[in-house]
Amino acid sequence: MTNQKKNPAPNAGSVLVVDDEPGMREVLSYILGHEGYEVATCASVAEALTLREGKSFDVTITDLRMLPEDGISLLQKIKSSDANALVIVITAFSTWDSAVQAMRLGAFDYIKKPFDNDDIKAVVARAMEVALQMKTRGPADVPAYVRNIIGASSVVQEIHNLIRRVAPTDSTILIQGESGTGKELVARAIYNCSSRSEEAFIVVNCGAFTESLLESELFGHIRGSFTGAISDKKGLLEIAHRGTFFLDEVGDMSKKTQVKFLRVLEEREFKPVGSTDTRRADVRFITATNRDLAKLVERGEFREDLYYRLNVIPITIPPLRDRKEDIPLLAGHFLARYSEEMGKSVTRISPEAMDFIINYDWPGNVRELENTIQRAVALAPEPEITTEDLVIKMRTGTPAAALITKEMPPEGIDLESRLADLERTYILSALERTGYNVTRAAKLLNTSFRSLRYRISKLGIKAGV
């Protein structure tokens, strides 16, 4: 066991490093010591538990591959005595199954071998921030960008840093990324970390409304301003006063509505439909799109002045296929969530299934991965998800085919469950094909927008940004 502290910084925090390789202990001790942390190291699970009995460490870093007991065993023992303990695991691509299990058991994050020193510093700094929050406010009140935006890649770390920097400001933010990458999560994290977090957070999807309905939703209307306007109605901009307004799929906004919205951004005022009265809007704007607004401007489909008003602080979320190192972490997170929600003991993903998951392109991004894991947990026999549990969507090309049998099995079937699985699969297929645009998916399924929204809610499908 060794203790090391270099270049001490006030309240920097303490780290316990557990690894049976002396070289790795020395490297981590050197890196973290020079960041100002108090660092203790040891070579085994038994030594780590003994050290923790005598001292409370803010963060523990453990290798997964150790003898005679491994990092999973240490994680379980630490969590059993302290559910809020912050444990970071060190893993390699060859042990992704253990990394998923670690995330399911409550690991804070993981560091991939071979690692970059800056990545280690960033992960530990993030964990220390959570440790400080728990000390001063309590375990439940951790930063939203840590709690909700999952990933160990450098791009995700940069998004965390951006959120931290821009949240306290009132600057307008444009979040860009493909459907399913998590744009609304980023918007909510910015809101939760801002000075407006106690006020309203209003979400409007421009692609879900016709031009006239969108204007009515945004600005409100007065009685008699159009057919069906039987009473005055407050617009969401007025309801969001002093809060945050998240406008999704802003690229789908009509040219007429763009003009009116530009005035809101420039003057912070608007007029309800059919009214001559001007009303004020003290609102922080966050917008998002899965379209290339710059190209829309070139084609004359989006106002250039509005584009520059929106693009004050741009945040780009890369597709999941460009940050595959985040996939095991996300898979473990979703596995834990849905196993608990469904009351099932699905505790791991087979190495073959994980290899398949990592190498799949995920055109629907994080949302598609989440829905796939959710579906696999529902259908998989306990305790493991295998490639057979993933074929329904990703291998057949006709997702419902795997759910249909021509002959009744001897033991019979659960008709309601089978029909729900079939319905869920067709809805997910339609959503993924349309970029999770509910309006277009409803047309593809030959049903109404309202009916599809009801079914999505009933089946617990994640259809947001």
| Torsion-angle region of 13 (φ positive above 0: left; ψ -120 to 50: alpha; else: beta) | left
Q: What is the pLDDT of residue 397?
A: 42
338 vs 291: CA distance, rounded Å? 31
CA angle 88/150/100 to nearest 5° reads 55
CB of 72 closer than 8 Å to CB of 64: yes
29 vs 37: CA distance, rounded Å? 9
The residues with which 348 forms a beta bridge, in sequence order, are 384
Residue 427: pLDDT band with limits 50, 70, 90: confident
Q: pLDDT of 271-316, one tens digit each?
A: 888 777 888 888 999 999 999 999 999 999 999 999 999 999 999 9
Rounded to the nearest 10°, the torsion over CA 257, 259, 260, 263 is 150
CB of 175 closer than 8 Å to CB of 313: no
86 vs 142: CA distance, rounded Å? 12
In order of their start, the domains of the chain are 2-142 (3.40.50.2300), 157-316 (3.40.50.300), 320-459 (1.10.8.60)
Q: What is the DSSP string of 141-163?
A: ---HHHHT----SHHHHHHHHHH
Tell me whether residue 440 is exposed, middle or buried, using C-beta atoms within 10 angstroms of its C-beta: 0 to 12, 13 to 18, 19 or more: middle
Q: What is the pLDDT of residue 3?
A: 56
Q: What is the pLDDT of residue 444?
A: 86
Q: pLDDT of 22-49, one tens digit each?
A: 999 999 999 999 999 999 999 999 999 9
Q: What is the pLDDT of residue 349?
A: 85
Q: pLDDT of 176-217, one tens digit each?
A: 999 889 999 999 999 988 889 888 999 988 888 888 888 888
